[in-house]
Amino acid sequence: MSGAEFVPLSLTPLLIGIFAAIACALPGNFLVLRRQALIGDAISHVVLPGIVVAFLTTGVIATAPMMLGAAGAAVVAVILIEAIRRLGRIEPGAAMGVVFTAMFAAGVLLLEQSDTSGVHLDVEHALFGNLESLIWLDATGWSSLFDPAALAGLPPELPRIALALLGVALFIGFFWRPLKISTFDEGFAATQGIATGALGIALVIVSAVAAVAAFDAVGSIIVIAMFICPPAAARMMTNRLERQIGWSIFFATIAAILGYVLAGYGPLWLGFGNSVSAAGMIATVAGLILAVAAVFGPCRARIGAPQGG
Amino acid sequence: MSPVELVAEDGMIAPGAAPGALDIRGLTVSYGERPAVFSVDASFAEGAMTAIVGPNGAGKSTLLKAVLGIVKPLSGAVSVFGKPFAATRSRVAYVPQRASVDWDFPTRVIDVVLMGLYRELGLLSRLRASDKARAEKCLERVGMSDFAGRQIGQLSGGQQQRVFLARALAQGADLYLLDEPFAGVDAATEKAIIDVLKSLKAQGKTVIAVHHDLSTVAEYFDEIFMINVRKMAHGPVREAFTAESLQNTYGGRLAATQIDQLTLSAG
């Protein structure tokens, strides 16, 4: 494929897919180790009504109101989960499950009831995103990367997800030690003066930022998959957290590239007429990577794990 | 809390009393409606080696956690070396129960020990060779030098316990709070741990350990603190470890013959 064809049509969707996958996989490492993987799932569900409400109030799809709406929805969700857990005396997992599916359903209902025909906001996009349509029409080839006029025409999702990824990476880099210590041993971390509660909330907020930024471009399916699959697969490749992070970035990137290419060309190679959803294929590839790692990963055996205390 | 307010054993104000390594006053902790620890007053002198003893659910771990600010007490005050814990964190090392963490965590033995240096290292400073050397020295003290590069999940329970102790040693603290350090460990580990604790005592450090094995209290510790939600007894093992205090602390859970044997061994 020549640059003249690749850059405008495939470069931006690929980059957005890769950035979204890594932005979700990075905090996903800690969520999975904290047995909070479902929080990533919950976030990607509960933000939908927040985003819809933000759109209905402002009438535009822009980063700031979307983030605010999503944050508001997340706060509502946390309060609801706590309320159900305490008042109903239900285990946290079940309370989360109830809240996030209910809020996602509410978001879908809101979407169907409101007129969003003019923008990329409907049930299908909420699930699958619109990765394939995030093309860069102003580009004419690789040289466009250095052409300010062409760069101005970049799809806004690209800088948005790039910024989110940068924020996630900075957060994890800066708080690496406290994150690692409190994920391993929260009690000890507290005695060392680490604000474990605040750090845990910050991790969820950072995950939510990644989820919202990714959600817009690639939909909620990929968000759920990327929070869990690359980190879980990476855990089976190494016994060191530092390397696990590296593996998760690698797996997220591979899933994004392979998924995008397979979605575009796979069906054609197999003799079918149309390409399939890139987001769906990326999530599928991530799942396959996890399956392969689960069977062949060198560190999948849990030798010496505590046998009930 | 100013030093003048420091409290003696019976909860009365003792003006001018020198602060101990750990002073607890009126500490009450509750997880629900029933208190787990109720109105405990205690002063642990510097250099003492104390066993915290009591039946299951008596509030032993909760007492430690409240002292360390891990659980928030309903009421009461704690001071460490005469100051609030927040101001003396660097002088306190905590060894949690081994079962309280997930040993599947992707990290190596040496990395766990290095966590003990967090307060010195802070967020971003790089690890120096001297930091690593110090962590290795601590592993050596617990007899785990050969395991520095192992993933922690590959260790036996006793080895994991020793890694936790090494992490506490790396902190270079003056007060050591240990939660069931001998629970479910092999004989070699038990000996290694008690040797380290005794060497800490020899250096003038203060050791307070939740202990479940009444038969070794007299051999390992010089002070005993007995708790069953309330403080039941506190003092030198020879004086406080009596049939009466055991009966008070454990109620019907210890048979009279067991109590006889224990107090004989203590006397």
A242-252 pLDDT, tens per residue? 999 999 999 99
Among A227, A201, A182, which Cα is nearest to A28's? A227
Picking from B65, B68, B123, the nearest residue to A174 by CB comes out as: B123
- Give the mean pLDDT of A207-227: 84
Residue A98 lies inside a defined structural domain of this protein: yes
Taking contacts as CB-CB distances below 8 angstroms, the residues of chain A near B80 are: none
| Inter-chain contacts counted by CB atoms under 8 A, chains A and B | 92
Domain contains A278: no
CA distance A227 to A232: 9
Of the candidates B41, B47, B48, B32, the residue with the CA atom closest to the CA atom of residue B9: B41
- Choose, out of B104, B119, B150, the residue to mutate when testing the contact with A (most A CBs < 10 Å): B104
Please indicate if any CB of chain B lies within 8 Å of the CB of A303: yes
CA distance B59 to B67: 12
- List all residues 6 or more positions away from B65 whose beta carbon is below 8 Å from its beta carbon: A187, B29, B71
Q: Is the pLDDT of residue B139 over 60?
A: yes
Is the C-alpha dihedral spanning B192, B193, B194, B197 positive or negative? positive
- Rounded CA-CA distance A39/A32 in Å is 9
Does A234 map to a domain? Answer: no
Give dist(CA B9, CA B44) in Å, integer: 10
Structure confidence at residue B109 as a pLDDT band (50, 70, 90): very high
Query: pLDDT tier at B3 (50, 70, 90 boundaries)?
Result: very low
Which of B56, B102, B131, B178 to probe by mutation at the A interface, max A CB count within 10 Å?
Answer: B102
Contact B27, B40 (CB under 8 A): yes
Rounded to the nearest integer, the mean pLDDT of chain B is 89
Pick B3-266's CATH classification: 3.40.50.300, 3.60.21.10, 1.10.3720.10, 3.40.50.720: 3.40.50.300
d(CA A273, CA A267): 7
Nearest to A47 by CA among A128, A126, A157: A126
d(CA A10, CA A1): 10
Residue B10: exposure state from Cβ atoms within 10 A (0-12, 13-18, ≥19): exposed
> Quick check: is A20 in a domain?
yes
Q: What does the alpha-carbon distance between residue B56 and residue B202 come to, in Å, rounded to a whole number?
A: 31
Q: Is A177 on the interface with B (CB under 8 A)?
A: yes
A240 at B interface, C-beta within 8 A: yes
User: Given this model, what pLDDT does residue A216 score?
Assistant: 75
Domain count of the fold of chain A: 1
pLDDT of residue B266: 57
Average pLDDT in chain A: 85
pLDDT given for residue A226 in this prediction: 92
Q: For the residues A294-302, what does the mean pLDDT come to? A: 80
DSSP string, B158-177: HHHHHHHHHHHHHTT-SEEE
pLDDT score, position B28: 95
Domain that holds residue A71: 3-215
Please state, as a whole number, how many other Cβ atoms lie within 10 Å of the Cβ of residue A133: 12
Chain B residues touching residue A309 (CB < 8 angstroms): 99, 184
Would you kindly state where each structural domain of chain B is located, as residue ranges? 3-266
Report residue B179 as tokens.
């939660």
At A231, give phi and psi (nearest 5°): -65, -40
Instruction: Determine the pLDDT at residue B16.
Output: 54
What's the CA gap between B208 and B91, in Å, rounded?
14
* Chain A residues touching residue B123 (CB < 8 angstroms): 174-178
Residue B167: list chain A partners with CB under 8 A: 188
Residue B2 scores a pLDDT above 50: no
Question: Is residue A285, in this structure, part of any structural domain at all?
Answer: no
Give a yes or no: residue A276 inside a domain: no
Give the sign of the dihedral formed by CA B43, CA B49, CA B51, CA B52.
positive
- B154 to A190: CB separation less than 8 angstroms, yes or no: no
Write the ipTM.
0.88
Q: Are B35 and B29 in contact (CB under 8 A)?
A: yes
Burial class (CB in 10 A: 0-12, 13-18, 19+), A5: exposed
Structure tokens at B91: 């002088």
- CA A150, chain centre distance (Å): 28
Could you tell me if A242 and A42 are in contact, meaning their C-beta atoms sit under 8 angstroms apart?
no
Q: A56-99 pLDDT, tens per residue?
A: 888 776 777 877 888 788 888 878 888 888 888 888 778 888 88
**Cβ proximity of B175 and B91 under 8 Å:** yes
